[in-house]
Amino acid sequence: MTFVSRLRNRESLVGTWVALSDPAIAEISAQLAFDAVMIDAEHSTNSIETVTAMARAVDAAAVEAETDPGTIVRLSENDPTEIKRTLDAGVDGVMAPMIDSAEDARNLVAATRYPPEGVRGVGYGRGTEYGEAFPEHLERANAETLALAQIETESGFENVEEIAAVDGLDGLFVGPADLSAALDLFGETDGDEFLEAVDRVLEAGHAVDKPVATLAFEEDEIERWVDRGFDFVLAGVDIDYLQRGGRRAKAAFEDAIDRS
């Protein structure tokens, strides 16, 4: 079963977040058998060329490691041209930031679907094996392409039930940093008021049997979000992995020096 099917079935899934602009990081993530690799094209320097190289690296590593991770791209904005170009790179789906309304969500879905279901243009790219697999691709793309909406603004939060109910939208994503900031609770992601807001997003998604995802860093945070009912947790970001690993290595060296 593909990642997209598993997510739509609301299986418990874990992914990783790639922000640094090196396809090797995406490749390593695929080798580690995460269920999905999220490539960040919003708060990063990742261009469409880098995104394409990362998607290729994930696919190649997955074959070698006998894993089957999904590849999702967090877009820089909910723009039909960016969505079209990103999907042409051969990824499994996209996640759009700053979804404020049901209309925004409908526009997102339409941009991921070929006519007559949507407005996605037909073009050459990795997703169609550079045109060699057009018929097969067009036959399955509308049903198999993932569209996720980030709930991270005050408007998006207030309209979350209507957003979740949009036909063709596959799920919701809570952006903890932006949503807490939008609700004037920045950084208070373990506080009661923010957790109540999280519960509302979870209830909105689950009421229409759609998965809800989020991002976590520390082990206790991962556990909290799993216990809260999130279906899909992105368990850390490459930058954070590097920082934490570096700090641990440096601390181990300093401890060894102190003991010598």
Residue 208, C-beta contacts closer than 8 angstroms, at least 6 positions apart: 164, 165
What's the CATH number where 120 sits? 3.20.20.60
Catalytic pick among 5, 43, 131, 158: 43
Tell me the C-alpha distance between 164 and 159, whole Å. 9
Q: What is the pLDDT of residues 40-66, one digit of tens each?
A: 999 999 999 999 999 999 999 998 878
Tell me the C-alpha distance between 43 and 104, whole Å. 20
Q: Which residue, chain included where needed, has tokens 């879905």?
A: 109
- On average, the pLDDT of the chain sits at 96
Query: Rg of the Cα trace of the chain?
Result: 19
Domain count, the chain: 1
Q: Which pTM value belongs to this model?
A: 0.95
Quick check: 198 pLDDT over 90?
yes
Q: What residue numbers bound the domain in which 167 lies?
A: 3-259
214 vs 135: which has the higher pLDDT: 214
Are the beta carbons of 198 and 228 closer than 8 angstroms? yes
Tell me the C-alpha distance between 89 and 127, whole Å. 6
Quick check: 126 pLDDT over 90?
yes
pLDDT of residue 6: 98
DSSP 89: T
Tell me the C-alpha distance between 59 and 70, whole Å. 9
Q: Which residue, chain included where needed, has tokens 């109540």?
A: 196
Q: What is the pLDDT of residues 108-123, one digit of tens each?
A: 999 999 999 999 999 8
Q: What is the pLDDT of residues 215-226, one digit of tens each?
A: 999 999 999 999
Sign of CA dihedral 170, 171, 177, 178: positive
Nearest to 25 by CA among 44, 3, 7, 4: 44
Nearest to 38 by CA among 94, 79, 105, 78: 94
Quick check: 134 pLDDT over 90?
no
Q: Got the DSSP string for 37-80?
A: EEEESSSS---HHHHHHHHHHHHHHHHHHT---EEEEE-SSS-H
Query: Which three-class secondary structure state does DSSP give residue 4?
Result: helix
Q: Got the DSSP string for 174-237?
A: E-HHHHHHHTT-TT-TTSHHHHHHHHHHHHHHHHTT--EEEEE-SHHHHHHHHHHT-SEEEEEE
Report, as an integer, the average pLDDT of 135-150: 95
Query: Which three-class secondary structure state does DSSP give residue 123?
Result: coil
Does residue 137 have an active-site annotation?
no
pLDDT of residue 187: 87
Please, which residues bridge with residue 179 across strands? none
Query: Which three-class secondary structure state does DSSP give residue 125?
Result: coil
Report, as an integer, the average pLDDT of 142-157: 98
Tell me the C-alpha distance between 20 and 33, whole Å. 19
